Amino acid sequence: MRVKSRLCVAVMVAVVASPIVAAGQSSTTELGVTFTKDIVPILQRSCQVCHRSGEMAPMSLVTYQEVRPWARAIKRRVVAREMPPWHIDKNIGIQSFKDDPSLSDTEIATVAAWVDSGAPRGNVADMLPPAEFPDASEWQIGEPDLVVQYPAYLMPAEGSDLFGALYTELDLDEDRYIKAIQTRPADDASRRVVHHALSFAVHPDEEEMRIAGDDDVPAAQFLVEYASGKNGEVYPEDSGLLLEAGRMMRLDYHFHSVGEEVAAVVELGMVFHPKGHVPEHIRWSKQLGLNNRLLDIPPGKVVRTDGYAVLAKAARLTAFQPHMHMLGTYQCLELIYPWPGWFAQTETVNCAKFDYNWHLVYNYEDDVAPIVPAGTVLHIISWHDNTEANRGNPDPRNWTGDGGRTIDEMGFAWIGWYDLTDEEYAAELAERKKRRDASAANQQQ
């Protein structure tokens, strides 16, 4: 299964394209780079899913007439790897992910060369047929087997951030294992209001017990988190999460005002494994490397914060999602392996730039997903920039610390994983070594 990527080269409306001195509308340039032959394939693969009429992006990038005025702005954002919104550092760690929409170095160089040569149209005969895209209302995870819609919450136009819980029924007549899951605001207005939302399956009497002040409320089962721009979560084929029939659904929300009254609606879509199928592993998702209490970000400073979490069992890591707020700029996931003696072996798995508007889940390709022994420490390293150089900084004059509000800060990672037995870990390790040795032998030949 693949998430249908909705990430795109989104050039902000505020960017005003500078006039380009075009070298006419010739079909070739000195480098032979043209819109019809070279740029359209890139746009169709990584841009037009959002940049087309009626979609979420601020302008359409389908025809030459639509793209041409934005050429310099497109080059600037693409060369800086700010867009498409895929922020994995290309120079560090694993680079194989499911549904990666990012541009290769060659594609970036092609865009830059096209703009620098005057952004020529090229030969119309070279143009690919228009791409076909799913309807904007379709889910990234494919058609869900079940959609849960939480009650609407009327968010006032002005006021402080609001936190709370919404409950709704779960229309499920038998236990099922989740294969893929996605939370999304139901419309654009809701999307602007929702800071984050966490979905839980809970005891059917939980709401009444909480209202009554009962201290013995049964534990809730966490399902998935949403934050602005987040994509769906797709589990490896041999894993899933049990959703029990007879539960209620709870949404823990954080909404913020946006200057107009909004009836915020959040919905949750789930794709299940076939009825009766029990996957080999239970897939977990948790906030790890959480060390918010130490967040101390003075005005005008860049601050690093470190958090740690120990995995008691061997595991396969399936997903990495940095989580910070508006001052967050960069985060790394490092593994500290258990090692005899005084020293531990470390490995930086991934680093990613952070953009508050895009809380992306980086789902590892199955054959490269990190496998780790019991006792491995996950080291989450977060950087927050409270200077004027940070364009997302609401006010670099203010000290910022830990807190749940949008203007407060956090620093941790959502990690997806499933546990392995020691035997499974050893077998997987041996299989990967076998594949590496075979690949090395092929390269020598």
Which pLDDT tens digits describe the chain residue by residue (445 residues)?
555 444 443 333 333 333 333 333 333 344 489 998 999 899 988 887 778 776 667 788 888 888 888 889 999 988 988 878 899 999 999 999 988 888 888 999 999 999 999 989 888 888 888 887 766 567 888 899 999 999 999 999 998 889 999 999 999 999 999 999 999 998 888 888 898 899 999 999 999 999 988 888 898 999 999 987 787 888 988 899 999 999 999 999 999 888 999 999 999 999 999 999 999 999 998 889 887 677 899 999 999 999 999 999 999 999 999 999 999 999 999 999 987 655 568 999 999 999 888 888 899 998 899 999 999 999 999 999 999 999 889 899 999 998 878 788 999 999 999 999 999 999 998 998 888 877 777 777 7
The 10s digit of each residue's pLDDT in 367-417 is 899 999 999 999 999 999 999 999 889 899 999 998 878 788 999 999 999
Chain centroid offset of residue 101 CA = 12
Please identify which residue in the block is written with the tokens 């020691």.
422
Locate all alpha helices (DSSP H) within 14-119, ordered by sequence. Answer: 40-46, 64-67, 71-79, 105-116
Strand stretches in 206-295, DSSP E: 221-227, 233-234, 239-243, 248-255, 262-264, 266-272, 281-288
CB–CB of 248/202 below 8 Å? Answer: yes
Coil, strand or helix: which one is 81? coil
Half-sphere exposure for 70 (CA within 13 Å, toward CB): 22
> What confidence score (pLDDT) does residue 17 get?
35
**Spatial separation of the C-alpha atoms in residues 270 and 314, rounded to whole Å:** 27
Sign of CA dihedral 331, 181, 281, 439: negative
CB atoms near residue 234 (< 10 Å): 24
**Spatial separation of the C-alpha atoms in residues 294 and 304, rounded to whole Å:** 10
Helices and strands in the chain: count of H runs, count of E runs: 7, 22
- Nearest Cα residue to 173 out of 113, 110, 244: 244
CB atoms near residue 444 (< 10 Å): 6
Letter for the amino acid at 412?
F
- Nearest Cα residue to 193 out of 266, 251, 252, 249: 266
Coil, strand or helix: which one is 428? helix
> What confidence score (pLDDT) does residue 134 get?
65
> What confidence score (pLDDT) does residue 18 get?
34
**Spatial separation of the C-alpha atoms in residues 31 and 136, rounded to whole Å:** 37
Mean pLDDT, the chain, rounded, equals 86
Letter for the amino acid at 53?
S
Report the predicted TM-score, pTM, of the whole model to 2 decimal places: 0.79
Output DSSP code: residue 92.
S
Provide φ and ψ at 154, rounded to 5°: -85, 105
The 10s digit of each residue's pLDDT in 5-53 is 444 433 333 333 333 333 333 333 444 899 989 998 999 888 877 787 7
Half-sphere exposure for 88 (CA within 13 Å, toward CB): 27
Strand stretches in 228-360, DSSP E: 233-234, 239-243, 248-255, 262-264, 266-272, 281-288, 296-297, 302-310, 314-324, 328-337, 345-353
Please identify which residue in the block is written with the tokens 């894993």.
239
**Spatial separation of the C-alpha atoms in residues 335 and 347, rounded to whole Å:** 5
Token readout for 23 is 């070298």
> What confidence score (pLDDT) does residue 343 get?
59
**Spatial separation of the C-alpha atoms in residues 25 and 156, rounded to whole Å:** 51
Provide φ and ψ at 147, rounded to 5°: -120, 125
Beta bridge partners of residue 287, listed in sequence order: 414
- Angle formed by the axes of helices 105-116 and 71-79, to 10°? 150
Q: Which domains does the chain have, with CATH numbers?
A: 1-136 (no CATH), 139-279 (2.60.120.230), 281-445 (2.60.120.230)
Token readout for 89 is 């550092």
CB–CB of 228/358 below 8 Å? Answer: yes
> What confidence score (pLDDT) does residue 351 get?
97
* CA 66 vs CA 48, 58, 60, 61, 390: distances in Å: 12, 12, 6, 6, 30
Letter for the amino acid at 389?
A
**Spatial separation of the C-alpha atoms in residues 311 and 333, rounded to whole Å:** 14
> What confidence score (pLDDT) does residue 160 get?
87
CB–CB of 39/110 below 8 Å? Answer: yes
